[in-house]
Amino acid sequence: MMGMLNLVLTNISRKPATRLYPFEIREPFKEFKGRIVFNPENCILCGLCQKKCPPDAITVTKANKTWELNVFRCIMCTECVKGCPKGCLSVSNERAKTGAKEFIKIAVPIVDKPKAPKAAPSK
């Protein structure tokens, strides 16, 4: 009986174990794998991310110069991030937004950078 009273008093005095979601949102942990972030600047369209992706969520089209990620297919294994030779891909700890049509496929056009002029051969 005394043990139960102790438990009741503890439960009255302490904070609730739950949060008032969505007004109170927990900050994501820094290690949390939330979504894939693509930086098109250095992409060379090698297609290694597409080859490594287990659920075939990434499509690299060389002809159109686009990089696409199907967010609903992505399982956040981060194999593409580890496999990218140019470091274009990274993981953000923010959650991927789902439900909206535009987030089903994210196609990023890759623009050719102007080639740097060759240095004149030294004499």
Partner 1 sequence: MTTIIPFGPQHPVLPEPVSLKLEIDNDVVVGVLPSLGYVHRGLETFINTKDFNQTTYVCERICGICSALHGITYTRAVEKLFDTEIPERAQYIRVIVGELNRLHSHLLWLGLFADGFGFESLFYECWKYREEVLDVAERICGNRVIHSISKVGGVTKDLTKEHIDMLLKMCDSLEPEIKNVEKVFVNNYTVKQRLVGLATMSKQVAYEAGTAGPTLRGSGNAIDVRETADWDIYKDLGFKTAVEKDGDCYARTKVRITELLNSLTIIRNAISKMPDGEIETRIKGFPTGEAIMRTEQPRGEVVYYVKGNGTKKLERLKVRTPTFANIPSLLLMLPGVKLADVPIVVLTIDPCVSCTER
48 binds partner 1 (CB under 8 A): no
Dihedral sign of CA atoms 95, 97, 98, 102 in order: negative
Is 76 near partner 1 (CB under 8 A)? yes
Q: Do residues 37 and 96 make contact, with C-beta atoms less than 8 angstroms apart?
A: no
When binding is defined by CB under 8 A, the residue of 45, 48, 91, 106 that contacts partner 1 is: 91
Give the integer Cα–Cα distance in Å for 53 and 47.
10
Q: How far apart are CA 12 and CA 14, in angstroms?
A: 6
Q: Which C-beta is closer to partner 1: that of 75 or that of 104?
A: 75
Q: In this chain, which stretch among 36-44, 58-66, 69-77, 98-106 interacts with partner 1, using CB under 8 A?
A: 69-77
Contact between 89 and 81 (Cβ < 8 Å): yes
Residues 12-41 that bind partner 1 (CB under 8 A): 17, 29, 31-33
Residues of this chain that bind partner 1 (CB under 8 A): 17, 29, 31-33, 52, 54-55, 75-79, 91
